[in-house]
């Protein structure tokens, strides 16, 4: 049996800002942009990995989510504690410089971790934590 990661979901608070971050800053491509009422689901991914994507979604489209839960999710997104993803780059320092130059919120500059990885951390426009590891 072979199982792969096909899609991961991250919430967005501003679809246009998220598209700009993931395409202009990270170099991903938009694969799908679907709207329904006043909401958008945007699928992005690295051009050289057509089978791996991130779906940027409205944070609370489920009608069963209560107003209190919506408020909590929005507060956690603003704080950067709601969602995140780990990415990898063959040149972490150059990737970090590009992200920093674009004005992204920096959480951690590239550094060697005690657990054997070199990585950095930034936040996307919705506050999602994006950790980027050095890939050999």
Helix (H, G, I), strand (E, B) or coil at 120: strand
Kindly list the domain boundaries of the chain, sorted by start residue: 7-134
Distance CA 62, CA 66 (A): 9
* pLDDT one-digit tens code per residue, 72-115: 998 998 888 999 999 999 999 999 999 999 999 999 999 999 99
pLDDT in tens, 116-126: 999 999 999 99
Burial 15-46 (b: 16+ CB within 10 A, else e): beebbebbeebbebeeeeeeeeeeebbbbbbe
**What CATH number does domain 7-134 carry, 3.30.1950.10, 3.30.499.10, 3.40.190.10, 3.10.180.10?**
3.10.180.10
């Amino acid at each position: 049996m072979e199982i792969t990661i096909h899609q991961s979901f991250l919430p967005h608070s501003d679809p246009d800002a998220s598209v700009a971050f993931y395409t202009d800053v990270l170099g991903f491509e938009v694969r799908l942009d679907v709207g329904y009422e006043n909401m958008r689901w945007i699928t992005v991914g690295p051009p050289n990995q057509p089978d791996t994507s991130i779906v940027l979604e409205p944070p609370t489209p489920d009608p069963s989510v209560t107003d209190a839960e919506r408020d909590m999710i929005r507060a956690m997104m603003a704080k950067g504690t709601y969602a995140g993803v780990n990415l990898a780059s063959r040149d972490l320092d150059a990737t970090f410089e590009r992200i920093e130059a674009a004005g992204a919120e920096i959480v951690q500059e590239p550094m060697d971790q005690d657990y054997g990885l070199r990585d950095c951390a930034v936040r996307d426009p919705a506050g999602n934590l994006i950790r980027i590891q050095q890939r050999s």
